[in-house]
Every structure is written in structure tokens, then in C-alpha cells.
Amino acid sequence: MKKIFICLIVLILLGSIGIYWFTNQNKETKVKKVSNNIDSISLKLEQEKYYIKENLNRYLAYHKSHDFTLSKVIADVNSNLDKVKYEDVYQTNTKENQVMLVNKYYYLTENYKPDDLVVLTAKYNSGVNSSLRKEAAEAFMKMSDAATLDNIIIKNASAYRSYEYQVNLYDRYVARDGKEAADTYSARAGFSEHQTGLALDINEIDNNFENTDAFKWLQNNAYKYGFILRFPKDKEDITGYQYEPWHYRYVGPKVAKQITDENLTLEEYHAFYVQYKNNS
């Protein structure tokens, strides 16, 4: 009887050891599979254009939570779309000049004001905020003059806005529509492109502008003078703003043509040709 009892104990112990070994082997296999999968994705990411080594962990985390192609993962992460808007933010590098990025991730300080602002005359202006940086102003006047030759009227409706002006404007929108709605069409102070002195609203701040001859003319000619449609249709997830057919941004003729030819937003251009270049 004693021998039988001892045999049972031994069998139980051996069974427990077997189960423990099998369970841990299974865990190790799963860990290895996960690890191998991550390694495989990492290698594929490294082969993608515009890959930035410092962003690898962010790429992997974003890829895990989004069913996107690896090229889109890289584009989105390089554009900081994996970050929380207005929380994970960076100070704008104003030394990037015409292609400086200001959006819900990049901000200008409260005291930032361009030192080369030019006031547009009544010939080119119909709004209260009538200043642009010198190069942008000269380009806009040339564009407006060229449009006039085609019987198209193009005037500024709102250009440079100070930090303080944007505070009041945004607060009015929030009081009227609530913060969530206001954030879809208005920038918080410091995060407005208008503070750069490189952005302006043209003719009428209304979606109906899309149906005008002036808009059609701009679609065909704005890039020639260095301007891009800043918040295009179907790119809201990238720009963070609803479609604004009236809002244009000066980036210079060369960059404007590239953005237009490649159908990019400024966020995408910055991710591909500015941030990538700075980190490669």
C-alpha cells in the first residue's frame, strides 16, 4: 500500500512538472512569436521611405492600434498624429521660415511677431487684419494683379493676427459653439497659422467660396506664386481642421509646386522633407 502511495505521489509530481514545462514552453513560444513579429515589422519599417530611427517605438505602437500601411504609419507618426492635440506639443522652429509648421502640435510663443510685416493697401485688402510678411505680401500682390488680368478679383479678408487677437477670436467661437466644435475650425492662441504672417483668408470666409471663379483660378494658379490651399478637402484627419477653401498659406513657389504636384498637406511635406531631413 505504501509503495502504491509513493508511486502516486511520484506520478503527480511528474505530471505537475510536465504541465509546468509545457505551459512555460508555450509562453516562451508565444513571446518568441511576438518578438519575431515585432522584429519583422521593424525591419520592414526601416526599409520604408522617410523612416526615422528615433520614432521606431512610436511607429510600432501606432501600427499595433491602426490597420494602416507602413508608409501611412510613418507619415502619420512623423506628422505627430499619434500624439494628443494641444497636449503633446513642440515650439515651432521659426528658423524654418516659409515652411515653419504651426498646427495643433506646433505653437508660436505669445510674444512672436514677424519683424517684416507689410500692410496691404485697399487694392489688395478688404479685411481688418491686412498685414503679411514682406515676401508673402509681394507674392500675393503679384497673384492678385495676375488674377485681375483674367477678370478675377482676389483680395485678403484676414491675414496676420496677433496672439492676443486669436485669444479673443477663439474664445468668442467657444462661447458660441462650444470648445469641441470650435476646435474643428478655429485655432487656439499660439497655434494659429495667421500669427506667422504667412497665411491669409481670401475674399470670403464661407464654404460657398469653393463655387466661385476666384477659387477655380486659385486652384490652377496659386502655387505659381508660392501659395497652397492649407486645409484641403478629405485631409481633415491630417491637418486637424475642416475643409477651408478660402485659407491659403505662403510657402514659396518651389515648395508650393511640390506640394501641389504630390497632393500633400503642409503637415505631410514637413514630415517628409523637413523633419526627415533633419533626422536622417
Query: pLDDT per residue over 123-169, tens digit each?
Result: 999 998 999 999 999 999 999 999 999 999 999 999 999 999 999 99
Contact 196, 222 (CB under 8 A): no
> Is pLDDT larger for residue 32 or for residue 51?
51
Does the domain at residues 90-279 carry the CATH identifier 3.30.1380.10?
A: yes
Q: What is the pLDDT of residues 77-88, one digit of tens each?
A: 998 999 999 999
Q: What is the pLDDT of residues 189-229, one digit of tens each?
A: 999 999 999 999 999 999 999 999 999 999 999 999 999 99
Mean pLDDT (the chain) is: 89
In the chain, where the domains are located: 2-78, 90-279
Catalytically annotated residues: 244
Residue 18 has pLDDT above 80, yes or no: no
CA separation for the pair 109, 262 (Å, rounded): 31
CA separation for the pair 147, 158 (Å, rounded): 19
CA separation for the pair 268, 49 (Å, rounded): 13
| pLDDT level of residue 114 (50, 70, 90 thresholds) | very high
